[in-house]
Structure 1
Amino acid sequence: MSGIVPNQPLADDAALLAFASFLHDGVPPRWRTLWFVMLDGERRALPVIVPLDHVPDEPDVRTVNELGHAWHAMLHGEPGASILLMLERPGSADASFEDHAWGVALRAAAAEQDLAVAGFFLATADGVVALTPD
């Protein structure tokens, strides 16, 4: 299972990157997909891993707000929960303005629901990289 151990906390950035890479599985993306993984208070992956295919190039307010509300509903009873996010898309590994816009919008939606974003990653045919807020 590629170094991923079930129920093991994703305790640091390297473990989060390894988990995102496991999800991506080295498959060249054909379209834009947003993945989100719910993590419990100990940063263990919950059995809620959702890929949303064909997301637009740029985030729209309605979609982002709906995601924030959905995350809140799913994690309401999970103290200290957080979210791992990955934007998977075709093209170069260079992060674009749109990639960063997704990161900003999704982090804001999570913060509005008092949820932490454990990590935000970009996955392309070249692999997976962390996108950190500037």
Structure 2
Amino acid sequence: MTMSPTSLPPLLTDDDVLERVASLLGPATKDRCLWLLLVDGDRKQTPVLMPIEDTPPRPDPRMVDGLVRVLGQVADALVTSAGAGSAVFVLERTGHGTVTTADAAWGEALRAVCESSGLGLLGVFTSTVDGVHRVR
């Protein structure tokens, strides 16, 4: 039986977030895809798991601006009595290794995206053929 993300336990710790990302995406199967997970103010994952295909190796200002606009439009819908919503990002790439300088640049850009759109950031991860790794 497949569980809906809304029926799963809340993401209360960094380990919870890492385990959720690993269970949803696991090791990379495609190259250059940015995944977005949205989490409400109660730290419950929403049913949204959005892939953004053909993500450039380094942050592109137009793509970053687009993410700010999109996330700014959904930020209010994620607010609960416990607080603002948050985002989790996963950079999927088929290479080996943990975190690269390009991944770190994405981590910083995605932190700024969340800050500009009024969302918290629960983490930026890579998914490589070696598994899931925390970037930020």
TM-score (norm: length of structure 1): 0.88
* Match in the other structure for 2:78: 78
Match of 1:16 in 2: 17
Contact conserved, 1:93 with 1:123, CA < 8 A, in 2?
A: no
Code of the aligned partner of 1:36:
L
Structure 1 segments, 4+ long, off by >3 Å, are none
Q: Taking every aligned residue pair, what percent have the same amino acid on both sides?
A: 31
Number of residues of Structure 1 aligned to a counterpart in Structure 2: 130
- CA deviations on 1:7-53 (whole Å, 9 max, x unpaired) are 41011011100111012133x43311100111000111011110111
Distance 1:64 1:8 in 2: 30
Quote the Cα distance in structure 1 between the aligned partners of 2:6 and 2:52: 25
Distance 1:45 1:38 in 2: 6
Counterpart in 2 of 1:123? 127
Structure 2, unaligned stretches of length 5 or more?
Answer: none
Number of the residue aligned with 1:30: 30
TM-score (norm 2): 0.87
Find the residue that maps to 1:76 and give its secondary structure: helix
Aligned-residue Cα RMSD (Å) equals: 1.8
Which letter maps to 2:12? A
- Gaps spanning 5+ residues in structure 1: where? none
